[in-house]
Amino acid sequence: MVSSSSLLSALVIGVTVGLVGRLVLPGPKAAPVWLTVALGVAASQLGSITARLVGVKPDALMPGSVAQVGFAVPVVVLAVIAAGRLQPQDGAVARVDRVEQRGGGRPRSGGTLRGPA
The tens digit of pLDDT for each residue in 28-44 reads: 677 888 888 999 999 99
Banded model confidence at residue 88, pLDDT cuts 50, 70, 90: low
On whether residue 49 sits in a domain, the answer given is: yes
On whether residue 117 sits in a domain, the answer given is: no
Residue with the bigger pLDDT between 45 and 88: it is: 45
Biggest distance spanned by C-alpha atoms of the chain: 72
pTM: 0.67
Instruction: Supply the pLDDT for residue 6.
Output: 79
Report how many domains make up the chain. Answer: 1
Q: State the DSSP string of 89-103.
A: PHHHHHHHHHHHHHH
Banded model confidence at residue 105, pLDDT cuts 50, 70, 90: low
On whether residue 43 sits in a domain, the answer given is: yes
Domain extent, residue 49, equals 4-101
